[in-house]
Structure 1
Amino acid sequence: MKLSTTINFFTYEDDGSYSAYYYDLEHYAKLGFSYLDSIFCSADAPFSPLWTNHYEDWAYKIRKKADELGITFVQTHVPFYNFCDPKKGVNENTEEIVRRSIVCTNILGAHWTVSHPGTAYADSLIVDGSKKQNLEYFSRNLEFAKKNDVGICIENMADFPGQGFKRSYCATVEELADLVDTLHKTYDNVGICWDFGHANLVYSNQVPCLNYLGSRIKVTHVHDNMGLEDEHRAPFLGNVKWDKIMPALAHCGYEGNFSFEVKRLAADVPEHIKDAYWKYMKTTGEYLLSMAK
C-alpha cells in the first residue's frame, strides 16, 4: 500500500478570487509525501481554471511541477451532488466540470477518481429508485472516463445520524456492491472507494465489510470520528478500530492507496507549528501501514 494524502488546489479567497498553490506541492514533498490525492470537489466554483478553455494547460503545469518534485498523483475526487433530486436533476454545468476533472485526472497521471452515489428520496422505493438513477448516471460518466483511461470508484455513504441527514443509498455494503457489480457487467473501469470514516457511522465492525467487498475496493479515504458525525479526524482521534481494520485490509488483498482525507487538519494552527501536525500524520500513516500484516 502507498501512503498518500489529499491536496486541494481549488482554494478561494474571501473576495471569491481563486488561487492555485504550487507551494503546497513543494510543502508536501518536503514533508516526505510522495503520493497525493487531488480533490476537485470545489472545482466548479467561480474563477476555477476548469471553467476556462485552458484547463488542460493548467493540469499539465501541475503535473510538470509534481514530476520535478518526485510526486505521483494516485487518485482524485470529482465534484458531487445529489443528481437524484427531482427538483434539480442532473446539473449539466457541474457535469461539464466532472468531465473536465476526469480529463485532468488522466493528465495528472492518476488512474482512479472518486464519486458519490445519489439517493432518490422522492421515490417510495428508495433503494430501487436510487439504483436505477445511479446506473443511468454512472454509465454515462464511466463511458467518458474509459475514453480517458480513468476508472470511477463509487464511495460508500452513511446516514450521518449525528447530522440529521436522511437515509443514504450505498450506506450498506450490500447496496454498494450490487451497484458496482451491475455496472461492472458493462464497464471494467468501475470500483469502490472505501471511506473508513463513513463506514464508522454505519458499522461498529468494518472487518466483515472489507471481506465482503474484497477486490472491488480500489482506493480509500482514511479518517476517523466518534461514530456520530463525519468529522474527518486524524486516525486514533476517534473510535475506528484500526487494529482490526489494517490486518483485514491486507488479508482481503488490498494493494492500492492508503489516502488521508483529514480535512482542515492544521487550517487554524499557527504557521510555525503546522509542519509538526503533518509530520505526525505521516508517522501515523506509516505506523498504520506497519499494522497491515
Structure 2
Amino acid sequence: MISIGVQTKNVVYDSDPAAGYEMLKKAGFSCADFSLNSYLPNFSLYQLERNDFFDRSEAELEQHFLPHKKGAEAAGIVINQMHMPYPVYVPNGGTVLNEYLWNIVARKSMYICAFFQCPYIVVHGFKLAYNLGSEEMEWAQTEKFLDSLAPLAKELHIMVCVENLYNSIGGHLVEGPCCNAGKMAERIDRFNARHRGELLGFCFDTGHANLVGSDFESFLTTLGHRLKVLHIHDNDGVGDLHQIPFTFTKTRENTASTDWSGFIKGLKRIHFDRVLSFETAPVLSSFPQEMKEQVLRFIADTGGYFCKCLSPFPEKTGQSL
C-alpha cells in the first residue's frame, strides 16, 4: 500500500522531536525521511570543514536520537528512509577528511539507520567523472565504497540506495552519477548477485532528473523493482530548488516544467507500492513560520493526489496526468 512521507528537516528538531513528528502526523504523513545529512552539512564539507558530531560513540549517538525514535513511534510515524551525510568523498578533501567520511561517518550512519529500524539509507555516488576521465571509472570508485558497506548492510538488514545526481561543469548543469538507468539496473543486479543479497537499490530524484532532462517514464520503467525510495520535488529546470510539485511552468499556459505525467506513468508501469516521499524541506523556510502546518498539509495533499493517480481505478481529476 502506498504511503506518503516527507523530510524531517525544518520540522523535527532535537529540542522537541516529539512535537515535530506530531506535526507531520497531523498534516497527513505516515512516513518520514530522516535528515541525518543535516548533522554534517554538505556546504561545510565542500569547504573542507567538519564538525565533531560523528566523533561520538555509537552508544552516545543512540542516546542522542532516542527522543526522535520515541517521538516518531508515539506519533505513529514510520522512518522509512534516511539520507547519509554527503558527499562521502570530497575530490580535493585530502586523505584525512575522506577516510573520516568513509570509515567513520558512513559506518556510524548505518548503525543510526539500524537503531531507527529504517530499511533504506540513501547515499550520493562520487562525483569524479571529470577528475578520472570517464563515468565508468567514477562508478568504480563508488562501487568500491559500496562494497565496503555491503557486509554491514547485510548484518544490519539495511538496503543502501544510490540516487541520480547532477553535476556543474563550467557553469552548466550536466548529468552526474547514476543518471543512466540501463547501466544502473545492470550494476545493481551485479552488485547484489556478488554479495548474495538485496543490498543495493535505487532512489529516483525527480528534481535532479528534471535538471538534466531525463525521460521520467523510461527511467522508472528501466529501473523496475530496483526502485526502492523516492525524492519528490520540483524546480525550474535551472536550479536544484526542492519546491512543491507543479510549482513551476514552462509557459503562461501553465505547462509544468517537470514531467509529472511521465513520473506517474513510470510508477504505474512498475506497480510502485512503496512511499511517495517528498524532499521539500527548503519550502518550509521560504514560507512564513506561521504557515508551516498549512504548507505541510498541502504537500501531503499533493501526495494524496499522486496516490489517486496511481490507483488502479483513479478518480477523475482536473489535472491530466
Query: TM over 0.5, yes or no?
Result: yes
Alignment identity in percent? 24
1:200 lines up with 2:210 in the alignment: yes
Alignment correspondent of 1:237: 247
Alpha-carbon distance, 1:81 to partner: 1.3
Displacement of 1:165 after TM fit?
5.0
Matched, 1:60 2:66: yes
Q: Write the distance in 2 (CA, Å) between the matches of 1:162 and 1:137.
A: 28
Q: Structure 1 residues 35, 163: CA separation in 2 closer, same or farther (over 3 Å shift)?
A: farther
Matched letter for residue 20 of structure 2: D
| SS across alignment from 1:237 | coil
| Greater helix share, structure number | 2
Q: How many residues align?
A: 286
Change (3 A) 1:282 1:161: farther
How far the C-alpha of 1:232 sits from its partner, in A, is 0.9
Match for 1:251 among 269, 272, 285? 269
Moved more, 58-67 or 259-268: 58-67
Structure 2 Cα separation of the partners of residues 226 and 242 of structure 1: 13
Per the alignment, residue 117 of structure 2 pairs with: 109
Distance 1:106 1:246, change over 3 A: same
* 1:10–1:20 CA contact under 8 A, matched in 2: no
What does residue 24 of structure 1 align with? 20
- Alpha-carbon contact 2:18-2:72 (below 8 Å) kept: no
For structure 1, which runs of at least 5 residues remain unmatched after alignment? 13-17
Residue type at the aligned position of 1:271: Q
Q: Is the aligned partner of 1:77 residue 2:83?
A: yes
| Cα displacement (A) at 1:268 | 3.7
**For the structure 1 residues 166 and 273, does the alpha-carbon distance in structure 2 shift closer, same or farther, using more than 3 Å as the test?**
closer
1:226 maps to which of 231, 236, 252: 236
Residue 172 (structure 2) aligned to one of 164, 183, 193: 164
| C-alpha separation in 1, matches of 2:183 and 2:92 | 21
CA gap of 1:169–1:246, structure 2 versus 1, over 3 A, is same
> SS where residue 194 of structure 2 aligns?
coil
Question: Contact (CA 8 Å) 1:10, 1:42: kept in 2 or not?
Answer: no
Q: What displacement does 1:88 show?
A: 3.0
Q: Which moved more, 1:181-190 or 1:230-239?
A: 181-190
TM-score normalised to the size of structure 2? 0.80
Q: Is the 8 Å Cα contact of residues 224 and 236 (structure 1) preserved in structure 2?
A: yes
| 1:182 match | 190
Task: Please report how far the alpha carbon of residue 186 of structure 1 lies from its aligned counterpart in structure 2 after TM superposition.
Answer: 2.0
Q: Which residue of 2 aligns with 1:217?
A: 227
Runs of 4+ in 1 over 6 A off after TM superposition: 9-12
1:46 aligns to 2:47 (yes or no): no
| 1:11 shift after superposition | 8.9
Could you list the per-position Cα deviations for residues 33-73 of structure 1 after superposition, in whole angstroms to 9, with x for gaps in the alignment?
2211101113235363x432310122333212211111111
Q: 1:275 aligns with which of 262, 271, 293?
A: 293
> Which of 132, 138, 141 matches 1:133?
141
- Change in Cα spacing, 1:116 to 1:290, as seen in structure 2 (3 Å) is same
- Asked whether the 8 Å contact 2:10–2:285 carries over to 1, the reply is no
The residue matched to 1:73 in structure 2 has which SS?
strand
Instruction: Report how far residue 9 of structure 1 moved.
Output: 8.0
Query: 1:31, CA displacement in angstroms?
Result: 1.8
Of 289, 302, 313, which residue of structure 2 is paired with 1:284? 302
TM-aligned CA distance change 1:172 to 1:228, over 3 Å: farther
What CA distance in whole angstroms lies between the structure 2 residues aligned with 1:104 and 1:175?
30
Aligned equivalent of 1:92:
99
Structure 1 contact 234–281 (Cα < 8 Å) conserved: yes
